Amino acid sequence: MGPHHPSTHGVFRMMVTLDGETVVKLKPVFGYLHRNHEKIGENTTYLASMPYTDRLDYFCSMTNNWAYALAVEQLAGLPVPERAEYLRVILAELTRLLNHTCLAGFLLQDTGASGTPLMYAFREREKILDLFESLSGSRMMCNYQRFGGCRIDATPEWLAAARQLVNGYNAFLDEYEELITGNEILMARTQNVGVLSPALAVNAGITGPMLRASGVDYDLRKVDGYGYYPRFEFRIPLGDHGDTYDRYMVRMLEMRESIGILRQALDRIPEGPVMDPKAKIRGFKPKPGEHYGRIEGPKGEIGFYLISDGTANPYRYRVRPPSLINLTILEDLCLGHTLADAVIILGSIDIVLGEVDR
């Protein structure tokens, strides 16, 4: 199947062996979208790599930026102003809303639903993209984070617009869940389909909603407490069965928690600068050393491993992409299910091929 097929979520191929309609072997084949991201990162300055991180996962450019900025800041020992930390949390949780909303729409489309759920999801996505555009100048490739803070400050009008969106998002989720969550066709197509055991999830390095849907309580916002997440109250939703339905429900519940975090952050955001005055933009050369920085992206742990040799370019630049790692257990989830189920299981993993291939 693929590489050019509507079910493959991008330029992706599945070599599937069937017994009738039942999957007995499945090999994911990727690499069609390889862009030499990491080697480019080793042959350009630290700052010049920031726009490339946008292209990893075009749904999540804000969190991609943050993970890379965090890795460089920890490598170089750069502090981040308080207001910038709040802005990063706000933008990360808006990104989580955007990503999970789209995932729900795509998953329903994969089950064969009409375009209605997807259009409802994209309607809300556009509102968040409007916020990103008004802040950063771009809807998807935002290039917004900088080492030591954020590129520009958010205006009071922008914060008011963000608050208005957040206050209305629960109403959308209520509407969406009334339409979808208890739908008997969705439940029949997703419950007990593509079960991922906690042991396999941990052993395979699975992270994010996929891991938590299998009942493993692991979220870097709690584990690492990066940024200012320890200041906010929120719960970590967990699944009971690890099936496709749990992966859908965990994301729906995570959106409710993101709304709570956003309300707290928008209410408490302080005044002040958004860039550390000591942070250098030009001539930035961290001391020799190495560091791995990571955050809890919407799809799971996204991290950057950097080695500095004291020059303006990283000696080693390595990305830990959640889409690629989470995709490695696709065959385990699909064996014994039908070909139609394999399409839904792939959709529940939530991949972007730009991040898989790089």
Domain boundaries of the chain, sorted by first residue = 6-357
Condensed to tens digits (0 to 9), the pLDDT of residues 249-299 reads 999 999 999 999 999 999 999 998 888 877 766 778 888 999 999 999 999
Condensed to tens digits (0 to 9), the pLDDT of residues 319-346 reads 999 989 998 999 999 998 999 888 889 8
Q: What is the per-residue pLDDT for 108?
A: 83
Enter the tokens of residue 154: 């958010």
pLDDT band with cut points at 50, 70 and 90 for residue 6: low
Q: What is the CATH number of domain 6-357?
A: 1.10.645.10
pLDDT band with cut points at 50, 70 and 90 for residue 87: very high
Alpha carbon distance 199, 295 (integer Å): 23
Q: Which residues, 6+ apart, have CB-to-CB distance to 145 below 8 Å? A: 50, 62, 65, 66, 68, 69, 88, 151
DSSP-assigned states of every residue in 281-321: STT--PPSEEEEEEEEETTEEEEEEEEE-SSSS-SEEEEE-
Mean per-residue pLDDT of the chain: 88
- Given a cut of 90, whether residue 93 has pLDDT beyond it is yes
Condensed to tens digits (0 to 9), the pLDDT of residues 50-83 reads 889 988 888 888 999 999 999 999 998 888 999 9
Query: Whose CA is closest to 136, among 64, 82, 77, 200?
Result: 64
Number of H helices, E strands in the chain: 15, 7
- Given a cut of 90, whether residue 202 has pLDDT beyond it is yes
Q: What is the per-residue pLDDT for 188?
A: 87
- Given a cut of 70, whether residue 7 has pLDDT beyond it is no
Other CB atoms within 10 A of residue 184 CB: 7
